[in-house]
Amino acid sequence: MPKPKLPPAKQRVPLVMARLAEAYPDTGTGLHFGSQFQLLVATILSAQCTDAQVNKITPALFAKYPTPEAMAAATVTQITPFVKSTGFFRNKAKNIHGAATAIVKEHSGQVPGTLEQLVLLPGVGRKTANVVLGDGFGVTGITVDTHVGRLSRRLGLTRKIDPVKVEMVLNKLIPQAEWTRFSHRLILHGRAVCNARKPRCETCSLRDVCPRIGVKPPANGAT
């Protein structure tokens, strides 16, 4: 028997949001931080690394360099040993130092509070900027990491592959007030249920609204 045709994404989104909110009522980044600057650093470190691993190394890092001024006054060589276990550590140490230096020189030691300013900092793309804005400033934004991108395609919300294009699509589908919470809930669901290799479809609360088999993205991600 063929699968029943599901309603368009726009009609399914309210149910998807409600189910995710029921499953994951408490949202927020899994990263530990004590300031907007520490959140920025932790988010840079989380690229290609788990939050749990980042949380293991940041207490020592932040004890030594708790502020932009302290981090900028250090050298990349001094920072590197603290972040070595997070992967791509040389680039991360360089970017953390560069971001701290820019914050001190260009923003009087304060992490800028707009996406346009944040993405000008070394090592900061839209994903990192939206995490900092959402969890550090209370400014809502869609954070498109690997989980959000994967689940958005599996749920048939978009067929886009480029993270920025996925973000733009979700911005139109999700109410702005829910952007940050929706991102966190998709990430949690991606980790707990809809993982990359072996999604647990049989126990998924979204299984009746998920056209996963029919949303394989095209090779060029154009549609």
CATH number at residue 62: 1.10.340.30
The answer as to whether 210 is a domain residue is yes
What pLDDT does 213 receive? 54
Tell me how many domains the chain contains.
2
* Share in percent of the chain as helix, strand, coil (round to 5): 60, 0, 40
- pLDDT exceeds 90 at position 61: yes
* Cα–Cα dist 90/80, whole Å: 6
Last-in-domain residue among 65, 94, 124: 124
**Domain membership flag for residue 179:** yes
Domain finish residue from 70, 93, 124: 124
User: Of 71, 90, 124, which marks where a domain is finished?
Assistant: 124
Within this chain, do residues 171 and 112 fall inside the same structural domain, yes or no? no
Is 4 part of a structural domain of the chain?
no
Integer Cα distance of 150 and 162 in angstroms:
11
Is 165 designated active site? Answer: no
Annotated catalytic residue within 145, 160, 162, 208: 145
Tell me: do 46 and 102 sit in the same domain: yes
Residue 59, domain member (yes or no): yes
Q: Would you say residue 64 lies in a domain?
A: yes
Confidence of residue 112 (pLDDT cuts 50, 70, 90): very high
pTM of structure = 0.88
Residue 111 lies in a domain: yes
**Known catalytic residue at 208:** no
The domain in which residue 184 lies consists of 9-27+143-214
Among candidate residues 92, 127, 135, 160, the one labeled active-site is 127
Q: Nearest-CA neighbor of 41 among 30, 52, 31?
A: 31
Task: Answer yes or no: do 110 and 188 share one domain.
Answer: no
CA–CA gap between residue 129 and residue 120 (Å, rounded): 10
Whether pLDDT at 220 is above 70 = no
Q: What is the CATH number of the domain that holds 151?
A: 1.10.1670.10
151 in the same domain as 87: no
Q: Indicate whether 223 pLDDT > 50.
A: no
Burial zone of 173 (CB within 10 Å; 0-12 exposed, 13-18 middle, 19+ buried): middle
pLDDT in tens, 172-219: 999 999 999 999 999 999 999 999 999 999 999 999 999 875 444 444
Which secondary structure element, helix H or strand E, spans residue 189, and what is its range?
helix 179-192
Give percent above pLDDT 70 in the chain. 93
Domain match, 108 and 170 both: no
Do residue 172 and residue 115 come from a single domain? no
pLDDT computed for residue 27 by the predictor: 85
Q: In which residue are the tokens 């707990």 written?
A: 192
Gap between the Cα atoms of 126 and 143, Å rounded: 8
Which pair of structure tokens corresponds to residue 218?
A: 């095209």
Same domain (yes/no): 80, 155: no
In a domain, 101, yes or no: yes
- Residue 133 in any domain: the answer is no
